[in-house]
Structure 1
Amino acid sequence: MIKVSILYPYRENGTFDVDYYCGTHMPLAARLFGAVLKGWSVDIGINAGPPGTPPPYVAAGHFLFDTIEAFYTVFKPASETLLADIPNYTDGGNGSILISEIKVTV
């Protein structure tokens, strides 16, 4: 199984609409990805460890797929719609993508 993570860096005075991201953007992606998508989640940054420190990322969206090929198959036709929606929840751009292989779950 692979996980596709989109990491949105924390920026002082940057905007990120968590409610829109969780309630509109991620469900939109899930609908566009269809049955190939095995699950999704969102992490919201709290801090960088020590109390009072800003988090390295304001948010991270995660999608689970069986294979990287499955992801690319559904992402290519959905990409234009999803990229066009980004300004609705952040002024910080596209974020960084990390594609990883899940080795252990508990």
Structure 2
Amino acid sequence: MIKISVLYSNSQDLIFDKDYYCDKHMPLVSKLLGESLKNVQVDFGLANGNPNEALKYVVMTHMSFDSIESFQNIFAVHSEELLSDIVNFTNCQPQIQISEIMI
């Protein structure tokens, strides 16, 4: 099992529409990725370990897939539609991390 983490970095000029993301974008992601998407979790940052320090990421979305190939195959089909929707909720370019789920 692998996890795709989509990380939205904090910045002074960050715009992020939580309602659009949760109510429109994530349902679109779920619909388009279909049965390949095993699990999804969206985290909105509140604080970090140092109260005097800004959050590194304001939003982190974690999606589970059976394999890198299953993610790549379905994402290739729908990447244009998914990526073009980003401008509707943020001015940030997300960072992607692919991890192996061990436990």
TM-score grouping bracket, smaller chain normalisation: over 0.9
Q: CA deviation at 1:43?
A: 0.8
> Partner of 1:65 in structure 2?
65
List structure 1 segments (4+ residues) > 3 angstroms apart after TM superposition: none
> Partner of 1:55 in structure 2?
55
What RMSD in Å do the two structures reach over aligned CA positions? Answer: 1.1
> Partner of 2:34 in structure 1?
34
Q: CA deviation at 1:23?
A: 1.6
> Partner of 2:21 in structure 1?
21
Unaligned runs of 5+ in 1: none
Give a deviation string over 1:36-55, Cα, whole Å, max 9, x none.
11010101111231225321
> Partner of 2:8 in structure 1?
8
Q: TM-score, normalised by structure 1?
A: 0.91
Letter in structure 2 aligned against 1:71: F
How far apart, in 1, do the equivalents of 2:47 and 2:53 lie?
A: 5
How far apart, in 1, do the equivalents of 2:23 and 2:75 lie?
A: 20
Q: CA deviation at 1:74?
A: 0.5
How far apart, in 2, do the equivalents of 1:88 and 1:40 lie?
A: 20
How far apart, in 2, do the equivalents of 1:76 and 1:103 lie?
A: 26
The number of residue pairs the alignment matches comes to 103
